[in-house]
Structure 1
Amino acid sequence: MDSGQQTRQNVVVMRHGDRIDNFEPLWTEKAARPWDPPLVLDGKVRAFSTGKKFKKDLRFPIHRVFVSPFLRCLQTASEVIHALCAVDCNVTHMSSADGVKIDPSMLKVSVEYGLCEMLNKRAIRAENAPKDGDFAFTISECEAVLPQGTVDSTVEPVYKELPKWEEPTEVARDRYKNIIKILADKYPTENLLLVTHGEGVGVSVTSYARDDLLVSEVEYCAYSKLHRTISTKGAGEFELCMNLKHSGISYIPTRVDEEQSTS
């Protein structure tokens, strides 16, 4: 890179699709892993559609994907990757990844524990959490859910293990903010997609929006877009580069203009 050359790095932070236990409450009663629900069919369709939207509307390619080890995120990532890497010209008429042929060389994906769900009762119902606190994730089993040929097994997770059960919410929020920057700093010449949970998307907004916001809701497959300048002098600060009005992310401004406060 020449001394005056600059480039832009983009990071998309996305929530997973529709999870089964929010549509079939009795699912957890017989599930072997009640803390790790899969997507319903509508969730897969929504994720695949979001991937098609990325391919059509993003003005930059996704080079690398990082994903939470929870099954709903792995399945979401798989659907999105199939849409992004599709080689079938008829993919616009397809509703999910079933039958979609891909070019696995187009991007690489890795599992990252730092993107996992908040491990506390605010995010996971206490009756569904493992009694011994062991959520029993292994990288190899997680990778098996992802599209064949796309996994970069040479990448070491930033977080070598999951947080401990009853992780404080503020600690989890700091984790999300940190992992976004750490992963971006690790791959400064690549555009990233991070598939995570609602709180992670919310943190990406509150941390980098120009105005002070309180995120109140993140819909399934909602996402934020961040960018920053990279130059020989280093990396700039991330900025939120999207209009939130139609993003699936609901928020409340927390800064009140002086004129409004005195009226």
Structure 2
Amino acid sequence: MESAKSLNTYSHQNVIVMRHGDRLDRFESLWTSKAERPWDTPLAQDGMDRAFRTGQRIRSQIGFPIHRVFVSPFLRCIQTASEVVAALSAVDLDPKAMSSKDVLCMDNAKLKVSIEFGLCEVLNTSCMEIEVVPEDGKFDFKISDLEAMFPKGTVESNVDMVYKELPQWGESSQGFKDRYFDTVKALADKYPSENLLIVTHWGGVSVALYNYFKDATKYMVDYCGSVEMRRQILNSDDDGFAKFEVVTSHGVSYKDNNCPIHDHVVSQSPV
């Protein structure tokens, strides 16, 4: 792989780690009992709307283009990412009237989407009810069908996944934390010249936060809540990466031992 020095166009790399939108089974109590795949809930309509609005916010407010989107194979994440990508890729501007900000937004129309098993839901009873888990413990996904849900021309299906297979059911607490951390780091290191959007689950966002707010005892992550991280690309011959820092977040709060009653709000989402 080429060095970060030869690849990097920007002095910094930005990574947004985002939770999926509102899931249908939290709105329709009978959905699970009737579903063929009760462990793989789709989004509610509110979730679809929230995801699209989140894409609009990202497009208009963050100040940098998104180059790649990596997404968990669970349907609620696929649908969230699809709505966000649609909002990011919408280009309906008159080229003669474009500002520099508009041109920046057009860069998002070139973004690529890939599915990543390492971003999947936590596969244990802390996040999934045992009643909905497949009897054989196997969570099957038809990747080609999931890729077809994204806007035409955005999918890059030949990207090697960090995790070639889904974790086994019953993964430990430390195991899923390591998985999320290793996956995000590996993806960022693989594409140091590009800004990434990671669409995953509550656990993925909380693990990203944990590395910067270690006193926290509990994280609250809203639907489509996110953490925006940034690091400098050093362009050195020995170590081309600085450590990520949390720049801001949306729809996220946490509690710590020093202040167990009140929530610390990292940032409040406008959507």
Equivalences for residues 72-221 of structure 1 within 5 A: 72-88=76-92, 105-209=109-213, 212-221=215-224
Q: Distance in 2 between matches of 1:215 and 1:238?
A: 21
Instruction: Return the alpha-carbon distance in structure 2 between the equivalents of residues 35 and 147 of structure 1.
Output: 25
The 2-side partners of 1:62 and 1:212 are apart by 31
2:211 is matched by which residue type in structure 1? S
Tell me: CA distance 1:238–1:254, structure 2 relative to 1, closer, same or farther (3 Å).
farther
Q: Tell me the equivalent position of 1:98.
A: none
* Residue 224 (structure 1) aligns with: 227
Q: TM-score, normalised by structure 1?
A: 0.86
Shift of 1:255: 5.7
Is residue 241 of structure 1 aligned with residue 247 of structure 2? yes
Show structure 1 runs of 4+ deviating over 6 A: none
In 1: Cα distance, 2:76 partner to 2:139 partner: 14
The 1:104/1:50 distance shift into structure 2, 3 A limit, reads closer
Q: Deviations over 1:59-108 (max 9, x none)?
A: 1110000000000000000000000010135xxxxxxxxxxxx9985200
Aligned positions, number: 239
> What letter corresponds to residue 56 of structure 1 in structure 2?
S
- Percent identical: 53
Tell me how far 1:254 sits from its aligned partner: 4.0
For residues 21-100 of structure 1, the aligned pairs below 5 Å read 21-88=25-92
TM-score, L = length of structure 2: 0.83
State the SS of the aligned residue for 1:231: coil
Give the secondary-structure state (helix, strand or coil) at the position aligned to 1:248: strand
- Conserved? CA contact 1:12–1:224, under 8 Å: yes
Supply the AA of the counterpart residue of 1:43. Answer: G
Structure 1 counterpart of 2:154, one-letter code? T
- Within 5 Å, which residues of 2 pair with 1:248-263? 248-254=251-257
8 Å contact kept, 1:11–1:184: yes
SS in 2 for 1:224: strand
The Cα of 1:145 is off from its aligned counterpart by 1.9
**5+ residue gaps, structure 2:** 94-105, 260-271
Q: What do the CA deviations read for 1:134-167 (whole angstroms, capped 9, x no partner)?
A: 1111322221222221000120111011000111
In structure 1, what is the equivalent of residue 18 of structure 2? Answer: 14
Q: Report the more deviating stretch, 78-87 or 136-145.
A: 136-145
Q: Which amino acid aligns with 1:231?
A: L
Measure, in 1, the Cα distance between the counterparts of 2:141 and 2:60.
Answer: 34
User: For structure 1, which runs of at least 5 residues remain unmatched after alignment?
Assistant: 90-101, 257-263
- Give 3-state SS (helix, strand or coil) of 1:29's partner: helix
Cα deviation for residue 252 of structure 1 reads 1.4
CA–CA distance in structure 2, aligned partners of residues 64 and 195 of structure 1? 11
Q: Is the 8 A contact 1:112 1:157 kept in 2?
A: yes
Change in 2 beyond 3 A, CA 1:138/1:160: farther
- SS at structure 1 position matched to 2:57: helix
SS for the counterpart of 2:11 is strand
Give, as a single letter, the amino acid of the residue that structure 1 aligns with 2:132: N
SS at match of 2:193: coil
